[in-house]
Chains A and B, each alone.
Chain A
Amino acid sequence: MTAYRPFPPGSQPPYAVASYGSTALRAPRQPLVAIDPTIERLGPPLLQLPAHADLSRAAGGEALGERILVAGRVTDEAERPVAHAMIELWQANAAGRYHHERDIHDAPLDPHFHGAGRVFTDADGRYRFVTIKPGAYPWRNHANAWRPNHIHFSLFGASWGARLVTQMYFPGDPLLAIDPIYQSVPDAAARARLVAAFDLALTQPEWALGYRFDIVLRGLHATPMEHAP
Chain B
Amino acid sequence: MIVTASQTIGPFWHPLADPALADLTRLGGTGEPIELHGQVFDGSGAPITDACVEIWQATPAAPFVGWGRCATDAHGGFAFRTFAPDADAPYLAVAILARGLVKPLWTRVYFADIDDALLAQLPPARRATLLAQPRWRWDIRLQGDGETVFLDF
Which A residues fall within an 8 A CB radius of B?
4, 7-8, 11-15, 17, 20-30, 32-40, 42-45, 47, 75-79, 88, 90, 92, 98-100, 102-103, 114-116, 152, 154, 160-161, 163-167, 181-182, 184-185, 190-191, 193-194, 215-218
Chain A residue at minimal CB-CB distance from B54: A163
Provide 6 A-B residue pairs closer than 8 Å at the C-beta atoms, listed in order of the A residue. Answer: A7-B2, A26-B142, A45-B65, A92-B12, A160-B95, A190-B2
Is A160 a contact partner of B12 (Cβ separation < 8 A)?
Answer: no
Render B108-129 as a binary contact track against A, CB cut-off 8 A, 1 for contact. Answer: 0000000001100110001000
Tell me, in angstroms, the Cα distance from A181 to B65 when the chains sit together: 33
Tell me, in angstroms, the Cα distance from A185 to B110 when the chains sit together: 32
What total of A-B pairs shows CB separation below 8 Å? 193
Given contacts A43-B56, A45-B62, is CB(A114)–CB(B15) below 8 Å? Answer: yes
Tell me, in angstroms, the Cα distance from A204 to B68 when the chains sit together: 38
Is B5 a contact partner of A39 (Cβ separation < 8 A)?
Answer: no
Among A4, A28, A30, the most chain B Cβ lie within 10 Å of the Cβ of A28
Tell me how far the C-beta of A48 lies from the nearest C-beta in chain B, rounded to whole angstroms: 8
Given contacts A22-B99, A191-B5, is CB(A34)–CB(B152) below 8 Å? Answer: yes
Tell me, in angstroms, the Cα distance from A14 to B12 when the chains sit together: 22
Chain B residue at minimal CB-CB distance from A7: B3
